[in-house]
Each structure stands twice: as structure tokens, then as C-alpha cells.
Structure 1
Amino acid sequence: MSQTEILARLAVALGIGLLVGLERGWRTREEEDHQRAAGLRTFALAGLTGGVAGALSVSAGPLVLGLVFLGFSGAFTAFHWLEAKAEGNFSATSLVAGLLTFLLGAYAATGEVQIAAAGGVATTILLALREQLHGLVRGLTWPEIKAVLVLLAMSCVLLPILPDRPVDPWQTLNPWQLWLFAILIAGISFGGYVAIRLFGDRLGVILASLAGGLSSSTATTMALARMAGTHPQSWSILVAGMLSAGTIMVLRVGLIAALLNPALLASLVLPVLAAAVVQAVGAGVLAIRRVDQAAPKLELSNPLELGSALKLAAFMAVVLVAGKLLQQAYGGAGVMMLAAVSGLADVDAVTVSIARMSLADLGPGSAALAIGLAVVVNALAKVGMAASAGGWRCALPFGAISLLAMTAGGVAGYLASLY
């Protein structure tokens, strides 16, 4: 290792210490120098000390780094304990920050410069956000904490142990992919919950609708239609939310299909964009022209909606198997039957199924037509939901704009098929 490289690594170690020390020094800036054990200079020297120890360990062995760290941690802990005893403040944050600064400096000196620098920045951010993080913890409820833990368990404990291969006789069901689908739905539901908590009911309706459109626009439409039934004076903002979810749904369907089979992109891009633009414009007009309208008070009960996520994943599994069987028995006609029936509930499962079939057994044109049929049937089903749960005052504008969007998508798809 050349001297230039050693100096560069030590400079990074010193920079990490200066960065952490800047935050620590600023927080205790009102205190006299002799009243605090560690400030800007101390943390800078801690980072540099770690850098020197790390550089020495490269040539002399890791034992040097271990011995220096033991000596540093003992001295730093002793001074911090004396300060805490004198002031009656027994926070361990500065102590942990000092030890971490030393270790990050050593890590930089051993060659992991980028990771050490990123760790220094992350450490400083965590220290600087003390008030915000404490406020966040005070504002959390136990159901919210439990939702995060369940989501982490689904992602980090269960997902890695599931087989990432088909396990059924039809070679269709992949447990890993189905569980990942459930995780995404649950995570998006939690994101909508957080949006309402952070941004309030009015803006929260739109944000939650956009998030809901990423998971299930059908479920989102039903939820908003029920709100319209109990809050008829707020029909405009709620219909805007339904259309926002529909916009995201159309874009999501096109994206999923194109990712699974890029050959579908040419057939889907124009109808998807046309339908999405019409719904987005309709949502914007309804949201803006009635800004004086009262937003409903939303009830926030279940942050995760895990049951809905698992049911939708199970439905996706059923559709995948049904699609395979119908395609084998009836060919293209069976796929159209599947698209129409599945679209009554949701379009994600049938989109995945048809896009996967188009890789081998189904042409891109037929696949795009089947996906479009599922979207149209789903739109009609959602209009029926809006009428039954929200009344005709909600269903008429929603149905009119949805019909216009589907018509625009159909015309665009027909024009695309001519070229």
C-alpha cells in the first residue's frame, strides 16, 4: 500500500470523525469546553485514531487493531462515565457514537472506504434526527409496530425458506413468487395507512388511493365507495380517489405484462397510456373543482390488511392453475373466458397468468386482447360496486369517466394493431 493511498484512507477516517463530531459539537455548543468529554475535536481524533490503528493492522496483523480499540474504548468509556456522573445524564448515545467513529475510521483504513464513509453519514443522520425519531416513537401505536414486525417476518424469515420453483403438477405455482406478491400487497396497504396518518384525510385519500391502486384498485374502489355512501357530501374527492386508483391499476397492468414478456409492450403501450390519461384527467378535475368539499374522516384500524393480501395471493394461485387448465383444454377461447371471469375480482392474477402463457403457448396479440378484456370487465365491476355501495351520485361520474377511459384505450389498441 503506497503512502498516497494510506493518506487518502486516513483522510476519510478523519472526515468521518469530523462529520460525527460536528453534529455532537453543535448539540452541546452552549456548554463550556471543560464541561463535555467529547466534541468536534475529540470525535475527529477518534476517527483518525481508528484510521491509524486500521492502517497498522494491515501490515502488523489484526491484533494491533484489537489492542488499540480496547485501550480507546476503555479511556473513552471512563471519561463518558465521569461526565454522566457529574451531570446526571446517563445517555449512552455519545459513547456508542465515539466507539463507532473509531471502528469506521479503522474500516476505512483497511480499504473499505466507501462503506465506511456511508456508515459515517448514516451515523450522523441518526444522531441529527434525535427529536424527530423520538417524536415518531411517541406517535406510534402498538398495531403499527406489530404491522412492521409482521411485514419484516414475512420478508426476512419466511420468504427466504420458500422454494423458488414450481411445486404443482402443472408446473405453475411458485411459492416464493406468490409469497412475494402477498408481501407487496401488504406493504402497499401499510404505505397507504402511513400516508393518511402523515398527510391527513383529504390528501391522504388521494395518496392512499394511489397506493391502493398499486395493490388492488378493486378493493380500493369498494372502500372508497363505502365512504361515499356514509359521506355523500364528499363524493367528488372520493370519486377522484377511485379514478386515481384506476389510473395506477392500468399503468401497473401494462408494466407487469411488459416486464414478464417485453413482446407485449408494443400492443399495450398505447391503450394503457390512453386509458390512464383519461382517468388521471378526470381525477384531477374532480379533485380540484371541489376543493371546498369536506373530506371524510377515515377510520385507521388495520395498518397491514394481511388477510386481504393473503386472499389475493391465494386467488392469484387459483387463477394461474385455472388459466393453465383452460388454455390446455380450449386454447385461446379458454384464455378469454378466464380473463372475463377473473376480471370481476381483480386483474393482477390474470395479467401475470396471461403474460406468462404468452411466453410459450399464447401469441402477443391474443394475450394483449385478453388482458384488455380483463381490465374492461374489472372496470364495469367497479362501477357496479360504486353504485351498490356509494349510490348513483358516486357511480354516475365514476362510470362515465371509466367508460370514456376504456373506450379511449380500446380505440388506441385498435389503431396500434393496424401498424
Structure 2
Amino acid sequence: MIDQPIVQLLTALALGLLIGLERGWHERMMRAGGRVAGIRTFALVAVAGQVAGMLGTLLTPWIPVAALLGLSLLLALGYRLNSDEDRDFGTTTVIAALLTFLLGLLVSIGESTLAVGAAVIVTVLLHFKETLHGWIYGLNAEELRGILQLGLISAVLLPVLPNETFGPWDTLNPYEIWLMVVLISAISLAGYFAMRLAGAGKGIMITSAFGGIASSTATTLSLARMSQQLPMYRLLAGGILLASAIMYPRILLLVAVLNVELVQQLSIPLGGMSLTSFAMALWLWRKTEADGEFDSSQLNQKPFQIGPALKFGALLAVIMLAAEGIRAEMGEQGLWIVSLVAGLTDVDAITLTLTRMTDNGIGQQIAIVGITLAAISNTLVKGILAGAAGGATLLKTLVPGLGLSMLVGGLLLLI
């Protein structure tokens, strides 16, 4: 049905009207005749693309090529005349018109779904021009460098790595290890920008929530150190518990990327720990008499650093080797020892390792127990760090929440 010529024609017309509506609205204040292309022109351009594609299929493929060249000349002439008169040298509308023609061609070859999806994306990008420019103007050098570095390790380095195993027990896969580095780095960078967009002025509650996305351990250390200048222990302890509460769903997200079958069972202990931590954080904040604010830049001096990413990759490789070695010598139950020890430093690495190993022979229940034990030991470490950096008063305030969370996780795991 969707491949019938009349349906294709109407589809091309619809996507042309969509893009043209945005362009017409954006340039609605321009003088009459001052626009290179408006809603009617965009609709006609899309229909022209569909008709040219259909004629190219029936007669000769040179027809859409000639039509595209002719349209390019017309748009170039209109752009030249418009820029000479209005001194407006923006090429966005011209590029959008050419893209609309190509989307019409896509419709003519039976790719209507792709064309409509692309039209929606193009319209959104065009409409949010000011917002996107505002984000660019708000970027500092470190943030831009972070985005470029993430692009480097994901789009440049990742595709060239060999996707095959080697080493002791045939364990190490460079592509998979680096993919995990990219995944963790992307989550951390997203958490950093989430903090930037929320703003530091909204207080510790929101900053703790976004800090938990990036690194709950880093957030714990930052809030604990702040207690020396801001002795609001209930508020800070609530922030630490909120960051921990968000860590558990983040673990589930990492697991879902590799093995969604584990999520349902794993969500019972981790969900219980998350809800407990959140409830205790809320209780502490309700008992807090004053509000506190701080600079969110204290959580992350740099949004992305290559050094920590490389260290994480090395740690992941070591844990993979240790896990496979212990499994070979002690059986699957020996992995639980690795989980407890690995969780003391980084819960993400052991989570990714055990999830990956479910594809290589270990039972799902072994992975679920190991990941939960790693989360429990990581929660214990937060208490130790908070006590060392923030002192006895903060630790005393924090212990009930962390202790109850670990107890709930352990009980739900046994059940």
C-alpha cells in the first residue's frame, strides 16, 4: 500500500509541508518575497523529488540527477539575490531545500519510513537553532575537549580494534573492553552535562542526583569534603544516599545493554537497595532545617579525561583475567570473591565482566549474586570514604541509611 505512487506522492507532500512549515514560521517576519523558499516551495521541492525519482525508475536515472542540478542552480540564484539585498548570508534554508528534494527521492524508491523519520529530525534541528547555538556558546574549552575525546575513543579507535579473544583462558577481547570504556565514559559525560544544564543553584538534591549518574563514589567524596565548610550533615548525608540510590538503576542499565534477561531478577535486590537509599535520603532531607547550595564543578573538574578511561580499561581487563582464572581453579562460586573485592574499587567493571561472562557459560544466578555483592561492597566503601573525608559526625548520620540498604539487598538476594 505504501509503495503505491499516490501514497508516495502524498508522503512526499507531507514531509515537504513539515519542513516548509518550520522554515516559513522561522522567516515569517521577513519582507514579502525575501525568502529563498517557504512552505509552498518546500512542498513542491519534495514532490519534485518524488516525481523525479519515479521518472528515473521508469525512463532514465539521469532525470533525478538533472532535476537536482536544476534545483541547485535555482536555489543558488535565489540565495545570491537574497543575500545581495538583505545581506543575509545564511545557507540553512538552501541546504534544507536540497535535503527535502533528496527525501522526496527516498520516498520514490520505497524508503518512506526513513524519509519521514529524517524529515522529523531535520525539522527539529531547524527549529532548535537558537537553543543549539546557546549550548555552543555556553561550552568551555574543557567541555568541548571532552566531547571531542569521546568522539575519538568511540568513532575512531573503537572500529579499528580487533573483535576477537586472546590471552590466558582466551579471555581478553580488545573491542569489547574498549566498548565498555566508551560506554562508561559516555554515561559520565552525559551526567556532567546534566549537572551543567540543571545548574548548581538548585542545591545539593539535584546535584547529587546528577552526580550519581556520573560517579556516586566521586559524589560521596565531594559531599563528604564539603562537610568541613558546610556542617549540614543531614543534608550532605541525604545527598550521598541519593547518589547511591541512582547507582543501582545505573547498574541495571549497564546490564540491560549486554544481557536484558538478567535485569528482571537483578532488579529485585538492586531495586530494593535503591528504594531504601532513596527513602532514607528523603527522610534526612525532611529533617533538614536549612537549604544548602554548592558549585557543581566541585564534582568534576574536567568532564572527560583519557587517563581515567585507560585506567578503567586496564582494571576491566585485570578483573576479566582474575574472574576467568578463579572460575577455572575454584568454580563459579569463586567469582563471588572477585565480586566483593572488585566492588571495593569499581562496581561497573565487575558488573560488565559478569554480564559478559553469562554468554560464555556461567549461570545467570552466579552473575546476579556477584553483581549484587559488588554493589553491597561498593556501598560499604562509600561509608568508609565518607567517614575518612567528612569525619565521625557525617559517618554517624550516614550509617543507618547505608547499613539498611546493604541489609535489604542481602535479604532480597537470599530470597
Preserved CA contact (<8 Å) 2:191 2:213:
no
Question: In structure 2, what is the Cα distance between the partners aligned to 1:305 and 1:165?
Answer: 27
- Cα gap change, 1:358/1:48 in structure 2, threshold over 3 Å: closer, same or farther? closer
Secondary structure at the residue paired with 1:348? helix
Q: How far is 1:335 from its partner?
A: 3.5
Question: In structure 1, what is the Cα distance between the partners aligned to 2:350 and 2:26?
Answer: 56
Question: In structure 2, what is the Cα distance between the partners aligned to 1:287 and 1:164?
Answer: 48
Indicate the residue corresponding to 1:86 in structure 2: 85
Q: Which moved more, 1:215-224 or 1:279-288?
A: 215-224
Indicate the residue corresponding to 2:277 in structure 1: 279
Q: How far is 1:199 from its partner?
A: 0.8
- Cα gap change, 1:88/1:361 in structure 2, threshold over 3 Å: closer, same or farther? closer
Indicate the residue corresponding to 2:239 in structure 1: 241
- Cα gap change, 1:65/1:164 in structure 2, threshold over 3 Å: closer, same or farther? same
Question: In structure 1, what is the Cα distance between the partners aligned to 2:285 and 2:141?
Answer: 34
Indicate the residue corresponding to 2:96 in structure 1: 97
Preserved CA contact (<8 Å) 1:172 1:321:
yes
- Cα gap change, 1:133/1:372 in structure 2, threshold over 3 Å: closer, same or farther? closer
Q: CA RMSD in A?
A: 3.0
Preserved CA contact (<8 Å) 1:165 1:174:
yes
Q: How far is 1:82 from its partner?
A: 0.8
Tell me, which stretches of 5 or more residues in structure 1 are unaligned?
A: none
Q: How far is 1:54 from its partner?
A: 1.5
Instruction: Letter of the 2:239 partner, please give it.
Output: G
Q: How far is 1:354 from its partner?
A: 4.6
Indicate the residue corresponding to 2:119 in structure 1: 120
Indicate the residue corresponding to 2:304 in structure 1: 304
Secondary structure at the residue paired with 1:170? helix
Question: In structure 1, what is the Cα distance between the partners aligned to 2:2 and 2:216?
Answer: 61
- Cα gap change, 1:221/1:365 in structure 2, threshold over 3 Å: closer, same or farther? same
Q: How far is 1:6 from its partner?
A: 1.3
Question: In structure 2, what is the Cα distance between the partners aligned to 1:71 and 1:393?
Answer: 76
Indicate the residue corresponding to 2:166 in structure 1: 167
Tell me how many residue pairs correspond in the alignment: 412
Q: Which moved more, 1:352-361 or 1:322-331?
A: 352-361
Alignment of 1:370-385 (within 5 A): 370-385=370-385
Instruction: Letter of the 2:410 partner, please give it.
Output: G
Question: In structure 2, what is the Cα distance between the partners aligned to 1:282 and 1:95?
Answer: 56
- Cα gap change, 1:397/1:123 in structure 2, threshold over 3 Å: closer, same or farther? same
Indicate the residue corresponding to 2:349 in structure 1: 349
Question: In structure 2, what is the Cα distance between the partners aligned to 1:82 and 1:247?
Answer: 60
Question: In structure 1, what is the Cα distance between the partners aligned to 2:79 and 2:203?
Answer: 45
Question: In structure 2, what is the Cα distance between the partners aligned to 1:78 and 1:262?
Answer: 58
Q: How far is 1:179 from its partner?
A: 0.9
Q: How far is 1:20 from its partner?
A: 1.9
Preserved CA contact (<8 Å) 1:209 1:242:
yes
Question: In structure 1, what is the Cα distance between the partners aligned to 2:359 and 2:93?
Answer: 57
1:102-131: CA deviation from partner (whole Å, max 9, x where unpaired): 222222223221222222222222222122
- Cα gap change, 1:172/1:350 in structure 2, threshold over 3 Å: closer, same or farther? same
Answering whether residue 327 of structure 2 is matched by residue 317 of structure 1, we say no
Q: Which moved more, 1:330-339 or 1:166-175?
A: 330-339
Indicate the residue corresponding to 1:328 in structure 2: 328
Q: How far is 1:336 from its partner?
A: 4.3
Indicate the residue corresponding to 1:61 in structure 2: 60
Secondary structure at the residue paired with 1:166? coil
Secondary structure at the residue paired with 2:291? coil
Q: How far is 1:413 from its partner?
A: 2.9
Question: In structure 2, what is the Cα distance between the partners aligned to 1:146 and 1:20?
Answer: 33
Instruction: Letter of the 2:47 partner, please give it.
Output: L
Question: In structure 2, what is the Cα distance between the partners aligned to 1:75 and 1:369?
Answer: 66
Question: In structure 2, what is the Cα distance between the partners aligned to 1:255 and 1:30?
Answer: 46
- Cα gap change, 1:178/1:207 in structure 2, threshold over 3 Å: closer, same or farther? farther
Indicate the residue corresponding to 1:338 in structure 2: 338
Q: Which moved more, 1:92-101 or 1:220-229?
A: 220-229
Instruction: Letter of the 1:349 partner, please give it.
Output: A
Preserved CA contact (<8 Å) 1:343 1:378:
yes
Q: How far is 1:253 from its partner?
A: 4.4
Indicate the residue corresponding to 1:391 in structure 2: 391
Q: How far is 1:25 from its partner?
A: 1.9
Q: Which moved more, 1:245-254 or 1:102-111?
A: 245-254
Secondary structure at the residue paired with 1:163? coil
Preserved CA contact (<8 Å) 2:188 2:215:
no
Question: In structure 2, what is the Cα distance between the partners aligned to 1:63 and 1:401?
Answer: 71
Preserved CA contact (<8 Å) 2:276 2:404:
yes
Q: Which moved more, 1:256-265 or 1:373-382?
A: 256-265
- Cα gap change, 1:124/1:87 in structure 2, threshold over 3 Å: closer, same or farther? same
Q: How far is 1:40 from its partner?
A: 2.1
- Cα gap change, 1:260/1:21 in structure 2, threshold over 3 Å: closer, same or farther? closer
Preserved CA contact (<8 Å) 1:209 1:245:
yes
Instruction: Letter of the 1:323 partner, please give it.
Output: A
- Cα gap change, 1:217/1:164 in structure 2, threshold over 3 Å: closer, same or farther? farther
1:72-107: CA deviation from partner (whole Å, max 9, x where unpaired): 211221122111101111211222122222222222
Question: Identity of paired residues, percent?
Answer: 36
Alignment of 1:87-236 (within 5 A): 87-201=86-200, 203=202, 205-206=204-205, 209-210=208-209, 212-214=211-213, 216-233=215-232, 235-236=233-234
- Cα gap change, 1:385/1:45 in structure 2, threshold over 3 Å: closer, same or farther? same
TM-score after normalising by structure 1 = 0.87
- Cα gap change, 1:365/1:132 in structure 2, threshold over 3 Å: closer, same or farther? closer
Instruction: Letter of the 2:86 partner, please give it.
Output: E
Question: In structure 2, what is the Cα distance between the partners aligned to 1:263 and 1:81?
Answer: 60
Instruction: Letter of the 2:16 partner, please give it.
Output: G
Q: How far is 1:255 from its partner?
A: 6.4
- Cα gap change, 1:272/1:63 in structure 2, threshold over 3 Å: closer, same or farther? same
Instruction: Letter of the 2:271 partner, please give it.
Output: L
Secondary structure at the residue paired with 2:296? coil
1:122-154: CA deviation from partner (whole Å, max 9, x where unpaired): 222222212212212211122211111111121
- Cα gap change, 1:332/1:66 in structure 2, threshold over 3 Å: closer, same or farther? closer
